[in-house]
Amino acid sequence: MSKHPYVICLMMTSLDGKILGDKWGDSPQVQALTKSFEEVHEAIGNKAWIVGRTTMEKDFTHFAKPVYKESTHPLDRNDFVATRNAKSFAIAVDGQAKLGWESATMLGDHVITILTEVVQDSYLAHLQQIGVSYIFAGKDTVDLSVALEKLKALFGIETLMLEGGGRLNGSFLNAGLINEYNHVLLPLADGRIETSSVFEIEEKDRQFNSTLFSLEEVKRIENDVLWLRYKFTGQG
């Protein structure tokens, strides 16, 4: 039995593989297309999702600044499990503790943040006070394999939905940690050179030339949106 949760990467893209939907305008037609992502998310029905710091900051915490609370004593770098049996989890990878948390829940899901040991005691003190769970997954760089082991062992998370951004997806892909990829393909084109794509890996960090998947299922859903489901098969 794997020590890691089963990881499903779910992403929505334009026809040219771009992922930043906020650049596509807010016309009724575009809004009708982009709502497909949440519909597919709900259809998959998973109760734990994970995103990178940039995505969490832009789409969920809305650039809130970190909060610091003076601690009366030094805090050990032990994982803090505020709620073990939550029905659902919102998880952020934030190795350098840049996210500002004001609540222990996000969209009704219990928050878990993944940190490194370089974070300040005063940041941890605030998280403990408001009831945000945190785990450590490296001294100064996040080790995703360690993070996944802890998410399963400490919180009982068996299946995890990975939802961007491109760099976090790329890190999971590069480490061979994605079991399944679900692609929500919208009938629109972005055309911007600078817009991010689904998986982004720095060439100096690349472990494999390519990652291979097999197509398991294709569904045509509302508004000519395609939902494609792939299983991981290996590295090229």
Domains of the chain, by residue range, sit at 6-235
CATH code of 6-235, in short, is 3.40.430.10
Residues sharing a CB contact under 8 Å with residue 201, sequence separation 6 or more, in sequence order: 170, 171, 173, 174
Give CA–CA dist 83/76, Å, rounded. Answer: 19
Residue 113, beta-bridge partner list: 92, 134
Q: Where are the alpha helices (DSSP H) in 115-218?
A: 121-130, 144-155, 166-174
pTM for the whole structure: 0.95
Residue 143 has a pLDDT of 98
Question: Could you say which DSSP state residue 58 is in?
Answer: I
Place of tokens 């760089």: 141
Q: What angle do CA 225, 228, 232 make, to 5 degrees?
A: 160
* Tokens found for residue 152: 């399963």
Contact 96, 116 (CB under 8 A): yes
3-state secondary structure 92-141: EECCCCCCCCCCCEECCEEEEEEECCCCCHHHHHHHHHHCCEEEECCCCC
- 3 state DSSP class of 52: strand
Q: Cα(230)–Cα(208) distance, rounded to whole angstroms?
A: 19
Provide the residue-wise pLDDT of the chain in tens; the chain has 236 residues.
Answer: 799 999 999 999 999 999 977 889 999 999 999 999 999 999 999 999 999 999 999 999 999 999 999 887 899 999 999 999 999 999 999 999 999 999 999 999 999 999 999 999 999 999 999 999 999 999 999 999 999 999 999 999 999 999 999 999 999 999 999 999 999 999 999 999 999 999 999 999 999 999 999 999 999 999 999 999 999 999 98
Per-residue pLDDT at 236: 84
Rg (C-alpha) for the chain, rounded Å, is 18
CB 43 within 8 A of CB 184: no
Read off the pLDDT of residues 193-202 as tens digits, 9 standing for 90 and up: 999 999 999 9
